[in-house]
Amino acid sequence: MTKEEQKLKLQEQYPSATFDETGQWLVMNITVADWLPTAEAMRAAGFDYMFCLTCVDFKTHLTMVYHMESTTERTPLVVKVQLDRNKPEIETVSHIWRTAEFHEREVYELFGVNFLNHPDLRLLILPDGWEGKNPLRKDFEDPVNMIKL
């Protein structure tokens, strides 16, 4: 399936989404409120493999980036959800794609995104009792353990 066909198909199903075709794969932008119903519908439509889940800090807002594909058709799709930087909250998808459980815990501690209804939202990599800012945010400064050159 080409990017055009994929776009036309998805446009019918999710009329509120906006698309971006400039990159390597088709990018679908949706709102936070739409995310959970969209994710459920996409899993039902065959997108069974989420191969990357991450977050990007754009200083004004956070963007959740989900890379997924179907293991039968192999046409990757990128879904982006923009979050409020001061109070980032999004529904978990760990019950839809089980791999999201660990990846969401990672994003939770490194970016401070709160995943609603996550079964086990605890620190994964950072030491217990970690307080302060989230390390992968752009305004994080650590004078003791320098990670910048």
Nearest-CA neighbor of 116 among 36, 57, 51? 36
Nearest distance from C-beta of residue 12 to other proteins, angstroms: 25
Listing DSSP states for 96-132 in one string gives: TSTTHHHHHHHHHHHH--EEET-TT---SSSPTT--S
Residue with tokens 């989420």: 50
For other proteins, the closer of residues 68 and 90 by Cβ is 68
Which residues make beta-bridge pairs with 55? 64
Nearest distance from C-beta of residue 53 to other proteins, angstroms: 9
What is the Rg, in whole angstroms, of the alpha carbon atoms belonging to the chain? Answer: 16
Residue with tokens 């409020």: 84
Question: Which of positions 97-136 make contact with other proteins (CB under 8 A)?
Answer: 97-99, 101-103, 106, 119-120, 122, 124-127, 135-136
Question: Which of positions 67-86 make contact with other proteins (CB under 8 A)?
Answer: 67, 71, 74, 78
For other proteins, the closer of residues 10 and 53 by Cβ is 53
DSSP state of 1: -
For other proteins, the closer of residues 144 and 149 by Cβ is 149
- Residues binding other proteins (CB under 8 A): 22-25, 48-52, 54, 56-57, 65, 67, 71, 74, 78, 97-99, 101-103, 106, 119-120, 122, 124-127, 135-136, 140, 147-149
